[in-house]
Amino acid sequence: MIRALALSLLLLLTGAALAPPTPAARAEGVEADLATHHVAVKTDFAGVNVLLFGAIVNQGDIDNLALLDMIIVVRGPEREMRVRKKERIAGLWVNRESATFDSVPGYYATLSTRPVSEIAPSYTLLQNGIGFTSLQGKLILSSTGFTQGNAKDYAAAVVRVHQSQNLYQELKGAIDFTGQHLFRAEFELPANVPLGDYTADVYTFRGGKLIGNYTTNLKIEKSGVERFIYELAHQQPLIYGIISVILALAAGMGAAALFRKA
Amino acid sequence: MQIYLPIAEQSMNVFLVLGMGGVVGFLSGMFGVGGGFLMTPLLIFTGIPPAVAVATEANQIVASSVSGSIAQWRRKNVDVKMGLVLLAGGVVGSFIGVALVKVLRQMGQVDLVISLSYVFFLGFIGTLMLLESVRTYYKSKSGNAPPARRPGQHNWIHKLPFKMRFKRSKLYISAIPPILVGLLVGLLAAIMGVGGGFIMVPAMIYLLRMPTSVVVGTSLFQIVFVTALVTVLHSVQNQTVDVVLALMLMAGGVIGAQIGAIAGQKLKGEQLRALLALMVLGMCFKLGFDLVIEPSELYSLAPALEAH
């Protein structure tokens, strides 16, 4: 349903874009939307795929243009993170040195038509925070607690650890184009995805030059019982603890009564 | 079928959780051991953060020990005065243990301390259990009676001050040793998510010389209160009790324990006890091995916790 609606909306959009009396000076751009702006984490949440779709607007005569490239960056909520490094001490691998990054995105996915580094020069990528390399650069700038020498290793570790948890993803060739204007792409939010506010930025490039971008938002929230339990545990921890104990007492005594009768 | 755990913030297979609860419940029903020292390492192996595993397991033990302690209470097998003295130590131990976990979390050393505690205690218990089952096996072959214990024997404990009379246990001893035993058990409950019966029962028999008839009831009495307190303290200090996980473990554990109790009456225990001992040693080895081999990822991430 939503998809059908979205598609008809897209046709309208592109129809308008193609309509003949367009002011010639209007710049080429991109418009996009998500199939959903709200993801509810319920009891059976096991991750979800989110569809992003959109259109290139005011596209000129494509025969005279360089190849279009697109990068979609999905960023999760930023948190202060402590990174620890293990060292061998007396035969055991023990956390030793540590450093803190002030704002680490809990989720970071790039979807692109080609490898990000081939699409645009590194300073353009860095300026817009696109790709793991520029992400690491930003992390280093927001870091405290170590010398410049090992900052790079720690920032690389942040990316690596998140990647191993499927929270940072780099998907090349993950954008499907339909004709000249319409595109769609899907990104995966795994079950361990951090909750909070997400942004999805769509960047379009021609010949390494950024020609359009569009931002849309997504919110991931616990809902229902999950939300109730989480909020109780963090806002009323004493009551939460007492309820946990009462539930356990009831479960233990209930089970004993049940099996005595059986 | 996956279920999302609101505090651990990850999803887990429902049948895996129920199965783990069931298997550990089966073993504890069969051998009369508490499940904590088996369940906490299993939870850690499945990827639950150790601090969450410990606090959640304390919550589960409340459920698994309450029915037993009520049954013992009805049979008047609880020395209430001794239980309260043990509990006094247990309360202090729980507070220290939970505060220690909080500090260790800030230092990033909580996983290490939990693992090391388990390597030590699992190695200790596993070895004792294995020796005992081997000894019983040879005894049943040769038919020798076990050496008789000498009752009324005085040891250093009788020289300590603050003596109290424990009528139910027919003891007149210093309150210091039971308080210290309770304190140790409270500490272990907070740091390891165990009831601590494996320490308390031998200590009551060999150190305090309590009559065996009241040992199990009194230790269960203390365990219910200490694990309940640890659950509340971890909730308040660390927000690490996952009640959804705990309830599922309880469901599996209750059913497993009933089946285990029936199986325990029918099966020959000694070979199985040796098997359990080997399992315990296996877990000890795995935890120890993970500390010693070079990890594939040297770096780890955690949300920065401010020290209060």
Q: Who among B236, B246, B298 is closest to A86 (CB)? A: B298
> In the predicted model, what is the mean pLDDT of residues A133-138?
90
Residues of A in contact with B246 (CB under 8 A): 244, 247-248
B241/A233 CB distance under 8 A: yes
Best mutation target, A168, A189, A244, to test chain B (most B CBs within 10 A): A244
Q: Judge whether residue B267 has pLDDT over 80.
A: no
Q: According to the model, what pLDDT value does residue A262 have? A: 58
Q: Which residue of A has its CA nearest to B48?
A: A192
B300/A192 CB distance under 8 A: no
Residues of B in contact with A222 (CB under 8 A): 6
Contacts of B9 (CB under 8 A, 6+ apart): A192, A194
Residues of B in contact with A238 (CB under 8 A): 232, 235-236
Mean pLDDT, chain B, as a whole number?
Answer: 87
Secondary structure of chain B as H, E, C letters: CEEEECCCCEEEEHHHHHHHHHHHHHHHHHHCCCCHHHHHHHHHHCCCCHHHHHHHHHHHHHHHHHHHHHHHHHCCCCCHHHHHHHHHHHHHHHHHHHHHHHHHHHHCCHHHHHHHHHHHHHHHHHHHHHHHHHHHHHHHHHCCCCCCCCCCCCCHHHHCCCEEEECCCCEEEECHHHHHHHHHHHHHHHHHCCCCHHHHHHHHHHHCCCCHHHHHHHHHHHHHHHHHHHHHHHHHHHCCCCHHHHHHHHHHHHHHHHHHHHHHHHCCHHHHHHHHHHHHHHHHHHHHHHHHCCCCCCEEEEECCCCC
Beta bridge partners of A204: A70, A212
How many CB atoms sit inside 10 A of residue B108's CB?
20
How many CB atoms sit inside 10 A of residue B55's CB?
30
Residues of A in contact with B108 (CB under 8 A): 82, 84, 95, 98
Greatest Cα pair distance, chain A, in angstroms, is 85
Q: According to the model, what pLDDT value does residue B308 have? A: 39
Residue contacts between A and B (CB atoms, under 8 Å) = 179
For the ranges A111-120, B25-34, B102-111, B244-253, which has the lowest average pLDDT? B25-34
Q: Judge whether residue A7 has pLDDT over 70.
A: no
pLDDT-derived band at B260, boundaries 50, 70, 90: confident
Q: According to the model, what pLDDT value does residue A152 have? A: 84
Residues of A in contact with B190 (CB under 8 A): none
Q: What is the pLDDT of residues B277-286, one digit of tens each?
A: 898 999 999 9
Beta strands at A196-206 and A48-57: parallel, antiparallel or unpaired: unpaired
Query: Distance of CA B137 to CAs A235, B123, B266, B272, B273, Å?
Result: 55, 21, 18, 12, 11
Q: According to the model, what pLDDT value does residue A20 have? A: 47
CA nearest A212: which of A28, A26, A14? Answer: A28
B251/A251 CB distance under 8 A: yes
Percent of chain B, pLDDT > 70?
93
A157/B299 CB distance under 8 A: yes
Q: According to the model, what pLDDT value does residue B257 have? A: 85
pTM summary value: 0.82
Q: Which two tokens stand for residue B231?
A: 């659950």
Best mutation target, B3, B5, B7, B11, to test chain A (most A CBs within 10 A): B11
B301/A82 CB distance under 8 A: yes
Question: Which is higher by pLDDT, B163 or A238?
Answer: A238
Tell me how far apart the alpha carbons of residues A214 and A31 are, in angstroms, rounded to a whole number. 6
How far away is chain A from the Cα of B204, in angstroms, using its nearest Cα? 25
Q: Which two tokens stand for residue A15?
A: 């129809």
Residues of A in contact with B9 (CB under 8 A): 192, 194
A259/B300 CB distance under 8 A: no
Q: Which residue of A has its CA nearest to B113?
A: A94
Q: According to the model, what pLDDT value does residue A191 have? A: 87
> In the predicted model, what is the mean pLDDT of residues B119-129?
90
Residues of B in contact with A104 (CB under 8 A): 301
Q: According to the model, what pLDDT value does residue B305 have? A: 66
A248/B59 CB distance under 8 A: yes
User: Is residue A173 packed enough to be buried (19+ CB in 10 Å), middle (13-18) or exposed (0-12)?
Assistant: exposed
Q: Who among B67, B235, B297 is closest to A233 (CB)? A: B235
> In the predicted model, what is the mean pLDDT of residues A200-217?
92
Best mutation target, B2, B109, B298, to test chain A (most A CBs within 10 A): B298
Q: Judge whether residue B265 has pLDDT over 90.
A: no
pLDDT-derived band at A19, boundaries 50, 70, 90: very low
Q: Which two tokens stand for residue B60?
A: 């589960």
Residues of A in contact with B243 (CB under 8 A): 229, 233, 240, 243-244, 247
Residues of B in contact with A241 (CB under 8 A): 231-236, 241
Q: Which residue of A has its CA nearest to B287?
A: A92
pLDDT-derived band at A224, boundaries 50, 70, 90: confident
How far away is chain B from the Cα of A87, in angstroms, using its nearest Cα? 8
A237/B235 CB distance under 8 A: yes
Q: Which residue of A has its CA nearest to B227?
A: A245
B11/A46 CB distance under 8 A: yes
B62/A245 CB distance under 8 A: yes
ipTM of model: 0.87
Q: Judge whether residue B146 has pLDDT over 70.
A: no
